[in-house]
């Protein structure tokens, strides 16, 4: 019998979920405290996904980095690809929270979106 122990990350409870499979491959999932925990365990074993949060370079603003995140979870196996793709991204202010910065990042179906509004710098408009 195969067994895995997962710590649920869907809520602050952090339930310890045990997943076991018998010789016929039937799964038994125990220890979850809610339906979200049950769904988390099923997905984690078949296609684990995570939200990606990072920053991209920002021009024409008083800050140099724009915080961004994926619009939906991406497969764990694609996280490093997404991070590498973000290294080459540079945007210019103004930017509004929710603006799409990169569409369909690395073919995941998820967009990279801004998580902060940033106005253009006053000094960026002034000519010496």
79-96, pLDDT tens digit by residue? Answer: 999 999 999 999 999 999
Number of domains in the chain: 2
DSSP character string of the chain: -EEEEEE--SSTT--EEEEEE-TT--EEEE--SSHHHHHHHHHHHHS-EE--EEEEEEESSSSSEEEEEESS-EEGGGHHHHHHHHHT-EEES-B-TT-EEESSGGGSS--EEE-S-BPPPHHHH---
Domain boundary among 13, 28, 46: 46
Which residue segment(s) compose the domain that 14 sits in? 2-46
What is the model's pLDDT at position 26? Answer: 85
The model's pTM is 0.79
| Claim to verify: residue 96 and residue 57 sit in the same structural domain | yes
> Does 34 share its domain with 58?
no
Same domain, yes or no: 31 and 64: no
* Residues 77 and 92 occupy one common structural domain: yes
What pLDDT is stored for residue 127 in this prediction? 46
Query: 60 and 85: one domain?
Result: yes
Q: Are residues 75 and 59 in the same domain?
A: yes
Read off the pLDDT of residues 12-60 as tens digits, 9 standing for 90 and up: 899 999 998 888 878 899 999 999 999 999 888 888 999 999 999 999 9
């Amino acid at each position: 019998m195969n067994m895995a122990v997962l710590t649920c990350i869907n809520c602050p409870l952090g339930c310890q979920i045990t997943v076991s499979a018998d010789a016929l491959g039937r799964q038994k999932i125990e220890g979850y405290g809610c339906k979200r925990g049950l769904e988390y365990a099923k997905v984690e074993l078949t296609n684990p996904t995570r939200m990606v949060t990072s920053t991209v370079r920002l021009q024409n603003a008083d800050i140099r980095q724009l915080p961004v995140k994926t619009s939906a979870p991406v497969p764990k196996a694609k996280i490093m690809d997404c991070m590498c793709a973000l290294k080459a991204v540079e945007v210019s202010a103004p930017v509004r929270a929710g603006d799409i910065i990169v569409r369909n990042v690395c073919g995941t179906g998820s967009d990279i979106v801004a998580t902060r509004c940033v106005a253009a710098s006053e000094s960026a408009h002034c000519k010496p």
